C-alpha cells in the first residue's frame, strides 16, 4: 500500500493515508473525469493502463534485475498474436478469453526464456543490442509469415478479434440501465484493465520484497557477488525474463481484445523504446514511479496532439509538427534530459531493495 502513497510524493510523505485515498479515488473516477473531454480521452486512458502494465513488466526486468531489454515489445506481440490466432475468424477459432489470455501469458513467458537462455552471459549494452535484435526478428517474422503458408497475415494484420467476454457478458457492448443510462464499453474496459493493473502491482510488490526480489537486486548491483553468496543467477535471470514477459503477454492479449485488430506495426522498436522511456522517466526500480511515468508519457503526447496541432494551425496556418513527431520528440528528449538531469527518475526508488545501479552504481570512468 505504501506504493500508492508514493505516487504523490509531496502528500505521501506527510500524510500517507490521505495520499492513498486520493490515488484510489483518482483511479476510480478517472474515466468519468475524462468523459467530460470526450470519449477519445477514455480510450486514451484505457491505452494508458495497457502501457502501465507493460512498464510494470519491463521494470521488473530492467529496474529490479538490471537487465536492459530493448525488445520488450516482442512479448506484447506474442500475447496479442496468441489472442488473435485463438479468438478470431483468422483460423476460425473462438476460444474463451480466460483460456486464451493465460495461454498468451505462457507463450510470452516461454519467449522470455528463449531470449534469456542464450543471453545469460551478456550484460549491459551487449544484452541491450541482442534483445533489440530479438524484438526485430519477431517483428520481421510477423511481417513476412504470410507466405507460403499464411500464418500471421503479414503487414495487413489480423482483424475481427473477439472482444472480452466475462461470464457470458460481452464487454464491448454498452450496458443499458433502464432507458436513460448507458455505460460505454470504454468504461468497462477501463475497469477491467484497472483490475489487471492493480493485480499486477500487488503481485510485483510482493515479488520485490520476496527472496526472489532480493536476489534480483543482488544480481543487479553485483552479479559476481550475488553468485558468490549462493544465488542461482542463471535461474533468477531466466525468472526475471519470463515473469517480465508474462506481463507483456497479458497486456498484449488485452490489447488485441480491446483493439479488435493486431498488425506488426504496433510492435515496432519505437514502442519498446517508448515503454523503456516510461520506466526511465518514472524512476527505474520504483513501482509508483513507473506507473506515473507510463501515465504521464501516454497522456502527454495526446494532450500535445489536442493542443499543439490547433495552436500551430492558428499561428502558422499549417501543421508543422504532426502528433507522431511530437510524441517522438517528447520521448527522446525525456530520455536524454532525464539521464542528464535526474537519472533516478521522477520518483526515485528509495528502499533498500530498489536502488538500481543508476543511482548507486560505481563510476567506472569508461573502463
* DSSP annotation of 261: E
Rounded Cα gap, residues 34 and 268, in angstroms: 28
CB of 115 to other proteins, least distance (A): 10
Burial 123-143 (b: 16+ CB within 10 A, else e): eeeebbebbbebbbebbeebb
Using rule CB under 8 A, residue 358 touches other proteins: yes
Rounded Cα gap, residues 63 and 140, in angstroms: 28
Using rule CB under 8 A, residue 136 touches other proteins: yes
Q: Binding other proteins by CB under 8 A: which of 331, 346, 347, 349?
A: 331
Query: Where does this chain touch other proteins (CB under 8 A) — which range of 13-21, 31-39, 144-152, 178-186?
Result: 144-152
CB of 339 to other proteins, least distance (A): 4
Q: Binding other proteins by CB under 8 A: which of 191, 309, 343, 353?
A: 343
Using rule CB under 8 A, residue 132 touches other proteins: yes
CB of 327 to other proteins, least distance (A): 9
Q: Which long-range contacts (CB under 8 A, 24 or more apart) does 358-362 make?
A: 358/284, 360/221
Cβ neighbours of 179 (radius 10 Å): 6
Rounded Cα gap, residues 269 and 73, in angstroms: 7
Using rule CB under 8 A, residue 357 touches other proteins: yes
Site string for other proteins, 247-276 (x = CB under 8 A): ----------------------xx--x--x
Using rule CB under 8 A, residue 168 touches other proteins: no
Within 294-323, the residues that bind other proteins by CB under 8 A are: 320-321
Burial class (CB in 10 A: 0-12, 13-18, 19+), 353: middle
Using rule CB under 8 A, residue 110 touches other proteins: no
Using rule CB under 8 A, residue 361 touches other proteins: yes
Count of chain residues binding other proteins (CB under 8 A): 54
Amino acid at each position: 500500500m505504501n506504493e500508492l502513497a508514493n505516487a504523490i510524493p509531496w502528500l505521501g510523505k506527510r500524510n500517507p493515508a490521505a495520499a492513498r485515498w486520493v490515488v484510489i479515488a483518482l483511479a476510480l473516477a478517472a474515466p468519468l473525469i475524462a468523459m467530460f473531454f470526450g470519449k477519445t480521452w477514455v480510450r486514451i486512458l484505457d491505452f494508458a493502463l495497457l502501457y502501465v502494465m507493460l512498464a510494470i513488466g519491463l521494470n521488473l526486468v530492467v529496474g529490479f534485475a538490471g537487465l536492459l531489454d530493448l525488445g520488450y515489445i516482442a512479448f506484447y506481440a506474442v500475447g496479442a498474436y496468441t489472442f488473435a490466432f485463438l479468438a478470431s475468424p483468422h483460423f476460425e477459432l473462438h476460444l474463451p478469453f480466460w483460456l486464451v489470455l493465460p495461454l498468451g501469458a505462457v507463450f510470452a513467458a516461454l519467449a522470455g526464456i528463449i531470449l534469456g537462455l542464450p543471453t545469460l552471459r551478456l550484460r549491459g549494452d551487449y544484452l541491450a543490442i541482442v534483445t533489440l535484435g530479438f524484438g526485430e526478428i519477431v517483428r520481421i517474422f510477423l511481417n513476412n509469415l504470410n507466405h507460403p503458408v499464411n500464418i500471421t497475415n503479414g503487414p495487413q494484420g489480423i482483424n475481427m478479434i473477439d472482444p472480452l467476454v466475462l461470464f457470458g457478458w460481452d464487454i464491448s457492448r454498452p450496458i443499458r440501465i433502464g432507458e436513460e443510462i448507458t455505460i460505454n464499453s470504454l468504461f468497462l474496459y477501463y475497469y477491467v484493465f484497472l483490475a489487471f493493473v492493480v493485480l499486477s502491482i500487488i503481485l510485483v510488490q510482493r515479488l520485490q520484497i520476496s527472496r526472489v526480489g532480493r536476489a534480483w537486486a543482488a544480481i543487479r548491483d553485483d552479479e559476481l557477488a550475488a553468485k558468490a553468496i549462493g544465488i542461482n543467477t542463471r535461474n533468477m535471470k531466466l525468472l526475471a525474463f519470463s515473469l517480465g514477459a508474462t506481463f507483456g503477454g497479458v497486456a498484449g492479449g488485452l490489447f488485441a481484445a480491446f483493439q479488435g485488430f493486431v498488425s506488426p506495426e504496433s510492435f515496432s522498436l519505437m514502442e519498446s523504446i517508448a515503454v523503456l522511456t516510461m520506466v526511465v522517466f518514472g524512476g527505474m526500480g520504483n513501482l509508483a514511479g513507473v506507473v506515473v511515468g507510463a501515465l504521464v508519457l501516454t497522456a502527454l503526447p495526446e494532450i500535445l496532439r489536442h493542443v499543439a496541432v490547433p495552436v500551430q494551425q492558428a499561428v502558422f496556418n499549417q501543421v508543422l509538427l504532426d502528433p507522431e513527431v511530437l510524441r517522438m520528440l517528447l520521448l527522446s528528449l525525456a530520455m536524454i534530459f532525464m539521464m542528464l538531469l535526474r537519472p533516478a527518475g521522477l520518483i526515485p526508488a528509495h528502499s533498500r531493495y530498489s536502488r538500481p545501479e543508476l543511482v548507486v552504481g560505481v563510476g567506472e570512468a569508461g573502463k
